[in-house]
């Protein structure tokens, strides 16, 4: 049978003193540091997740803004092209009208010159005919 003597009690007391001292000096600060580290890691994880949600939200807003900007720029480009085509058509019509006027004016002038030349030619023919008649009759 086991006998309890004074050394057993001394060892028992020393072990409990060692457990209490080590618990306060070593284990408790170590566990506190681990707990703080775990809390910091959890807080960092929550912060990271929140930052990622904010980032994704901001990214969606930016992509939405880019999509709108592209659509607006495409509509603006189509409007500008349409206006340019209308302006081109107007300029072509103006130029065609001006050319028609110039052709009509040139025809009138050509007709006048033709009539004038016909008159001059008629007078010259008459003059030549008289000269020829005078030479033949004389």
Q: Splitting the chain (138 residues) into consecutive groups of 10 residues, what average pLDDT does each group show?
A: 75 92 90 96 97 97 96 96 96 95 93 91 86 81
Give the Cα separation of 85 and 125 in Å (integer). Answer: 57
What distance lies between CA 134 and its chain's CA centroid?
92
Give the Cα separation of 127 and 136 in Å (integer). Answer: 14
90: nearest Cα among 79, 98, 104, 74: 98
H or E stretch including 25? none
Question: pLDDT at position 135, please?
Answer: 82
**Burial classification of residue 75, based on how many CB atoms lie within 10 Å of its CB (0-12 exposed, 13-18 middle, 19 or more buried):** exposed
């Amino acid at each position: 049978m086991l006998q309890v003597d004074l050394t057993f009690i001394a060892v028992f007391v020393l072990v409990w003193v060692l457990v209490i001292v080590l618990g306060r000096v070593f284990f408790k600060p170590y566990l506190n540091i681990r707990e703080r580290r775990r809390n910091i890691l959890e807080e960092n994880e929550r912060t990271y997740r929140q930052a990622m949600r904010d980032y994704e939200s901001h990214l969606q807003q930016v992509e939405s803004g880019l999509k709108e900007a592209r659509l607006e720029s495409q509509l603006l480009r189509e409007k500008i092209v349409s206006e340019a085509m209308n302006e081109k058509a107007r300029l072509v019509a103006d130029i065609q009208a001006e050319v028609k006027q110039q052709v009509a004016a040139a025809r009138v002038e050509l007709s006048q010159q033709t009539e004038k030349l016909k008159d001059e030619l008629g007078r010259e023919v008459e003059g030549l005919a008289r000269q020829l008649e005078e030479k033949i009759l004389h």
